[in-house]
A and B are shown apart, each in its own frame.
Chain A
Amino acid sequence: MDGMESGSGTVAGQLNIEFYGYLFGFENLWLTESLRNMWIISAAMIVVAVLIRIGMSKWDPDNPTGVQNAVEAIIETFHNYVRSVMGDKYAYYGNWYFTVFFLILFSNLSGLVLLRNPTADITLTFAFSLTTFAIIHVSGIIRSKGNYFKGYLAPHPVMLPLNIIGEIAPAISLAMRLFGVVVGGLTVSVLVYNVAPWPARIGFPALIHGYFDLFSGVLHAFIFLTLSLVFIRNKLPE
């Protein structure tokens, strides 16, 4: 960050998403900083996943070592958690949310390596929450059949408009929560880097990144996972 001069112009400029150009020459496909950072994170995740998959061929299920221990522990913990929320019957929803959880987690943590968090762009958080919205309703229609539509008329048909709002609100709330938390942390760290007097730039940013990126980032990736699973579970029959 080269902005030594303070002032609202610099800070507002730092908070805006940088724009690099058009994709494939289409005028309405923008290559922005969020998109670039998302690609970097996805590429890193794909490389790690492929390396683990290649290494997996040499693994011995009876005496695990090194990486195998870590990977098994992560996947087992995750699936046990999903099973405790969804029940054994619907534990397979964890397969999709494993990817989403780690994508959100690494997006939130990317502030630690001075990449602008892709989750600080509302389009990304809305993309995640709309996939959850689609899963809630598609799996609700497929699994609970007629009861799904009866749910809108409960407890009385007069409640129909309120029920519809109640179905749309969770999607907006999921997206806004993640966006607000990440962009709030980003704003504070940009202010500390640019506006605060110079003694505040020694050591103090570590505290800021520790709280907003590590603690809040991990917590809110977990919150997104938990709330998505609970919303889906509520629409499914026993």
Chain B
Amino acid sequence: MELLPLELVMAFSALGAGVAVCAGLCTAIGQGFVAGKTVEGIARQPEARGSLMSTMLIGCAISETSGIYGLVIALILLFANPFM
């Protein structure tokens, strides 16, 4: 088996890192839903603002997880590449 040149591996790792960060797209949509629904809830019941805000922050952070996984994969490809 012929080994790939290092430059090619580095180039595709950078490309792969860029693609991995695209996981953030879905996270952004999900967080938008969370924030929108929270605004609806606050508009309907302004006195529940405090508890809605803290629940929203936790929900946002949990839905952020998939985006963070993409970020971790991108960082591994850039700084701790297993293929090089």
Contacts and interface: CB of A to CB of B under 8 A. Distances in A.
The reply to whether chain A is a binding partner of chain B is: yes
Interface stretch (A52-60, A156-164, A177-185): A177-185
Contacts of B65: 173, 176-177
Interface residues of B, number: 13
A141 to B, nearest CB: 27
A176 B62 contact: no
B72 A179 contact: yes
Nearest to B57: A219
A179 to B, nearest CB: 7
A180 B68 contact: yes
A180 B23 CA distance: 13
Given A219-B61, A220-B61, A12 B69 contact: no
B79 interface: yes
B79 A12 contact: yes
Interface on chain B toward A: helix, strand, loop, or mixed SS? helix
Contact of B68 (A12, A181, A226): A181
A32 interface: no
B71 A180 contact: yes
Interface of B: 57-58, 61-62, 64-65, 68-69, 71-72, 75, 78-79
17 contacts: A15-B79, A173-B65, A176-B68, A176-B69, A177-B64, A177-B68, A180-B68, A180-B69, A181-B68, A183-B75, A184-B68, A184-B71, A184-B75, A187-B75, A219-B61, A220-B61, A223-B58
List the 10 closest pairs (A to B, CB-CB), nearest first.
A180-B68, A180-B72, A223-B61, A184-B71, A180-B71, A177-B65, A177-B68, A176-B72, A219-B61, A15-B79
Given A176-B68, A226-B58, 13 more contacts: A16-B79, A173-B65, A177-B61, A177-B65, A177-B68, A180-B68, A180-B72, A181-B64, A181-B68, A184-B68, A184-B75, A222-B58, A223-B62
